[in-house]
């Protein structure tokens, strides 16, 4: 990750990815349940797909956060030398 003055923006983007991921997972679960209750296989599959999308978004947020932390640690280590 690059060093810049926009670190807060990067943190917000990570947080946004996690929030959007959680929202997509919840909406997907709701759609899936409605599909099951109504016998609408298409809606059920669409809900499952939205859940997967949400999980991917959350994992991307986690990966961004991990990369940022690794970069900070590397910079600290570099400063000690």
Please give the pLDDT value at position 14: 78
Local structure of 3: helix, strand or coil: coil
Work out whether the CA dihedral 24, 28, 30, 31 comes out positive or negative: positive
Q: pLDDT per position in the chain (81 positions), as tens?
A: 455 566 666 667 778 989 999 999 999 999 999 999 999 999 999 999 999 999 999 999 999 999 999 999 999 888 876
| H helical segments located in the chain | 7-38, 41-80
Structure tokens at 32: 């899936």
Q: Is 50 exposed, middle or buried (0-12, 13-18, 19+ CB in 10 A)?
A: buried
Give pTM, 2 decimals. Answer: 0.73
Please give the pLDDT value at position 43: 98
């Amino acid at each position: 990750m690059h060093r810049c003055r926009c670190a807060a923006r990067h943190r917000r983007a990570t947080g946004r990815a996690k929030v959007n991921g959680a929202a997509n997972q919840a909406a997907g679960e709701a759609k899936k349940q409605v599909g099951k209750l109504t016998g609408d296989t298409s809606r059920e599959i669409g809900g499952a797909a939205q859940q997967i999308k949400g999980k991917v978004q959350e994992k991307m947020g986690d990966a961004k956060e991990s990369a940022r932390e690794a970069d900070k640690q590397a910079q600290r280590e570099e400063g000690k030398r």
